[in-house]
Structure 1
Amino acid sequence: MKENKTKHLTLFALTWPIFVEILLHMLMGNADTLMLSQYSDKAVAAVGVSNQILSVVIVMFGFVAQGAAILIAQNLGANRSKQAGEISVLSISLNLWFSLLLSVALFFGAKAILRIMDLPNEIMGEATAYMQIVGGLIFVQALIMTTGAILRSYGHTKDTMMVTIGMNILNVIGNYFVIFGPFGFPVFGVAGVAYSTAISRFIGFVVLLLLLIKRTQGELDFSRFLRYPRQHVKGLLQIGIPSAGEQLSYNASQMVITYFVAQLGTVAITTKVYAQNIMMFIFLFSIAIGQGTQILIGHMIGAGKIEDAYERAIKSLRISIFISLGTAGLVYILHDQLLGIFTDNPTILETGAFLLLMTVILEPGRAFNLVMISSLRAAGDVKFPVYIGIASMWGISVTFAWFFGIFLDLGLIGIWIAFIADEWLRGVFMLRRWRKRHWVSMSFVDRTEQ
């Protein structure tokens, strides 16, 4: 029955729950931004910069979650459910201890990290409070990422979607109480939003864990929680570290670019936050398609269906480019209404509108990366995206951001030029790599059997 289920997985069946889930994750972040915008633009900037830093930390948890997702999919495709269950328990254990260490570091080092970002003094206090609360409890997000990745690899994408819906509802209700203070409830502002986020995440993790135990029907042996089989740890590290490395490099480069933007002032920071929050709704289609494609290709590679895997990636790429281009165009047409949701500041509205126009060029290039990198990872070719990513993100994105944005004084427009150049350059390299089929001999399942 497990083998038949693997054979009948489809891109649409996997992708639409992932799409809804990612949409709701983005809505959770946007709910914080939108509701705080009614409280203070400075609070928005504080939370925006803090989340930029926290996103880098979250990516560090991804080296286990990404590795587990690929290994579990390949083992399930090869009908090796016992090995898939062992990897699932191992990944939860490893990410728990690793994330606890980072949580402690973020709590005690919040202010020092924000000072490195050269944050304006007017938002330093609120940014520190937010980072200490959300960062101090960031280990919960690591556990959510891991259990969610396991469930998706088993094909249960609807479960993670439903849990995300619940987390969003709890987060919005919590935000409403701590920001607007109904029924005489005290107003806590940024600190209250941080607690609302942390509490909703914790409840979400508990539900995900219960669902994981139920869906795997006894295949997960938690008595092995503190056992670390050498072959599985090695496999997670071989796949997970390079996979997370590409994303870590991206987020680290974004931190440097945020440092450049911080030099342009609070208005520039706020404009970037609003524009990127809107842009998230464009590229979430590509993210969902990429993740769904990764699951399918992982199963196909495990089952030895090489040609099916190759065609699946190309078809997914075409779909993603078409949707990204259409959605970006629609967002630009509606830019007045969308930006108007967040602010009535004329400077932010004018600059934000031009950034959204440039996004029409940017997003198809991003689609190349999101789909093709996911495909390469699923096939076991995890190092190449990291090498090209590091070279392009730092050699093109960061360098161009400084040159056009700061040196030529083009501001945020110069920053967006850098984003466009980086995404398209990497995208072309990834597609070329896939077409050359170097990944055919890189299946992790094949390597372990040699």
Structure 2
Amino acid sequence: VSIVLFFYAGPIGGVLNIAPELLSLSNVYISYVGGGLFMVGMIASLGTAIRNTGNTKGPMYTGIIINVIHIILNYIFIFGVFGLPQLGLAGIAISSIVSRLVGVIILYSLFRRSFEIKVRLRDFRIFNGKLFKQILKIAWPLGINSSCWVFSQLIVYSFLAALGAEALAARTYLNTLESFCFTLGYAFALAGQIQIAHLFGAGKLKEAYRSAYRTLFIGLSIVSANMLLLFLFGKQLLGYFTSDPKIIAIGVSLLALNLLLQPSKMLNMALGNALNAIGDTRYTMYTSIVSMSLIGVGCSYWLGISVGWGLIGIYCCMIADELVRGLLVLARWRGRKVLRQADIGLSEENASLHGAGKRSASLTT
């Protein structure tokens, strides 16, 4: 994907309906940042491996370091500090690459020390076919799920670009503010996923089932409180990003809808991650493909572009997509299909061990 983005930035910008006057800028940004996208994959995989050992602070501190470096380099490159040329958007792209590279180096160092045996470079040559198949069975639906989300977002952003620069800017600024609302909720969803996976692996199925709801309620409380603050002070916060009254007016008109969007997203994150934790990844993949395609993309075009509701219509479809997927994963979790199968498997295993123990005792006697 990085190679494609690097060499085909121009055609991709055209597909996204980017305005002609912005194409030269988009070519620079897509080729630079897109070309370094493989580092995002490395950060995600290394960070996940480290967190799953119980070390959640290491990736957190690394994320803080990445962002601090990114902000400092943005300032230096954009405004030409220390006698450097003013690079503008190209400077932002360069700072993104440099900060991500630093993140990869730090996380790789942590990864090597995350296990009882220190990981060395030659260990990456080890290949276990059986283990790889087990990982692939869980991973390929997750990969398709993530890809589906990325492509749906790209298509939706192409709709936003067709609505004009103001609508695109308003959505971009609001997305930044929203991230502060659901970041803590997403953190709880990830923590819940790790905990549920450990409990499920240990055969503590009832505790795993209850843990998902505990994660959901905590996350909903945090996200709802943050959303209320954003609703009350959103206009002032948008003023820090832009002074354009049209962009601010568009952003303010969407604040009330966010009171529905973010809780729906939290429902989907908490219980979707719970299903992924116990290996039920195909179900989340199927629901994502159907909902994102029909509601997230199809209805967004219908209401936002065809009917003419604009950004409000697209937001309504985003809410519907998140809510539908959230209710579907909730129904799946309440059905306990995978948990019941695991419970039967544990019962059969215990019965087999008990029978073997009796035979051993009889022979000894």
TM-score, normalising length: structure 2: 0.91
The alpha carbon displacement at 1:302 in A equals 0.8
Quick check: 1:440 aligned with 2:329? no
**Partner residue in 2 for 1:28:** none
Q: Which structure would you say has the larger RCO, counting Cα contacts within 8 Å and 6 or more residues apart?
A: 1
Residues 29-81 of structure 1, C-alpha deviations (whole Å, 9 max, x = no match): xxxxxxxxxxxxxxxxxxxxxxxxxxxxxxxxxxxxxxxxxxxxxxxxxxxxx
The SS at the match of 1:263 is: helix
**Partner residue in 2 for 1:324:** 223
The alpha carbon displacement at 1:104 in A equals 2.0
CA contact (8 A) 1:283 1:363 kept: yes
The alpha carbon displacement at 1:142 in A equals 1.6
1:289-304 alignment runs, 5 A limit: 289-304=188-203
Specify every segment of 5 or more residues in structure 2 that has no aligned partner in the other structure, as ranges. Answer: 350-365
**One-letter code of the match for 1:192?**
G
Residues 314-342 of structure 1, C-alpha deviations (whole Å, 9 max, x = no match): 11111112222221111010011110010
**Partner residue in 2 for 1:92:** none
Quick check: 1:282 aligned with 2:178? no
> In the alignment, which of 284, 291, 302 is matched to residue 392 of structure 1?
291
Quick check: 1:135 aligned with 2:38? no
Distance in 2 of aligned mates of 1:227 and 1:112: 39
Distance in 2 of aligned mates of 1:411 and 1:274: 17
CA contact (8 A) 1:285 1:323 kept: yes
Quick check: 1:423 aligned with 2:338? no
The SS at the match of 1:204 is: helix
TM-score, normalising length: structure 1: 0.74
Quick check: 1:257 aligned with 2:149? no
The alpha carbon displacement at 1:308 in A equals 0.4
Sequence identity (%): 33
> In the alignment, which of 289, 295, 301 is matched to residue 402 of structure 1?
301
Distance in 1 of aligned mates of 2:99 and 2:16: 28
Structure 1 residues 438 and 219: alpha-carbon distance in aligned structure 2, compared to 1, 3 A threshold: farther
CA contact (8 A) 1:321 1:367 kept: yes
**Partner residue in 2 for 1:195:** 94
**Partner residue in 2 for 1:207:** 106
Number of matched pairs: 346
1:181-192 alignment runs, 5 A limit: 181-192=80-91
1:221-240 alignment runs, 5 A limit: 222-240=121-139
**Partner residue in 2 for 1:162:** 61
Distance in 1 of aligned mates of 2:307 and 2:40: 39
The alpha carbon displacement at 1:279 in A equals 1.1
The SS at the match of 2:163 is: coil
Distance in 2 of aligned mates of 1:409 and 1:436: 40
**One-letter code of the match for 1:403?**
W
**Partner residue in 2 for 1:413:** 312
Quick check: 1:112 aligned with 2:11? yes
**One-letter code of the match for 1:375?**
A
The alpha carbon displacement at 1:305 in A equals 0.4
Structure 1 moving runs of 4+ over 3 Å? 219-222
The alpha carbon displacement at 1:441 in A equals 5.4
Structure 1 residues 313 and 275: alpha-carbon distance in aligned structure 2, compared to 1, 3 A threshold: same
Distance in 1 of aligned mates of 2:74 and 2:282: 41
Larger Rg: 2
Distance in 1 of aligned mates of 2:130 and 2:216: 33
Distance in 2 of aligned mates of 1:163 and 1:252: 28
**Partner residue in 1 for 2:204:** 305
The alpha carbon displacement at 1:185 in A equals 2.1
> In the alignment, which of 242, 245, 249 is matched to residue 346 of structure 1?
245
The alpha carbon displacement at 1:403 in A equals 1.8
Structure 1 residues 383 and 442: alpha-carbon distance in aligned structure 2, compared to 1, 3 A threshold: farther
Distance in 1 of aligned mates of 2:224 and 2:10: 40
Distance in 2 of aligned mates of 1:442 and 1:232: 21
The alpha carbon displacement at 1:156 in A equals 0.7
Residues 276-296 of structure 1, C-alpha deviations (whole Å, 9 max, x = no match): 111111111221111001100
**One-letter code of the match for 2:117?**
G
The SS at the match of 1:216 is: coil
Distance in 2 of aligned mates of 1:170 and 1:145: 18
**Partner residue in 2 for 1:65:** none
**One-letter code of the match for 2:185?**
S
The alpha carbon displacement at 1:188 in A equals 0.4
Distance in 2 of aligned mates of 1:233 and 1:112: 36
1:74-85 alignment runs, 5 A limit: none
The SS at the match of 1:334 is: helix
Distance in 2 of aligned mates of 1:215 and 1:118: 45
**Partner residue in 2 for 1:358:** 257
CA contact (8 A) 2:113 2:119 kept: no
The alpha carbon displacement at 1:227 in A equals 3.3
> In the alignment, which of 59, 69, 77 is matched to residue 178 of structure 1?
77
Residues 121-148 of structure 1, C-alpha deviations (whole Å, 9 max, x = no match): 1111111111111121222222111111
Quick check: 1:271 aligned with 2:170? yes
**One-letter code of the match for 2:96?**
T
CA contact (8 A) 1:380 1:442 kept: no
Distance in 2 of aligned mates of 1:388 and 1:154: 29
**Partner residue in 1 for 2:51:** 152
Moved more, 229-238 or 361-370: 229-238
1:66-77 alignment runs, 5 A limit: none
Distance in 1 of aligned mates of 2:129 and 2:183: 36
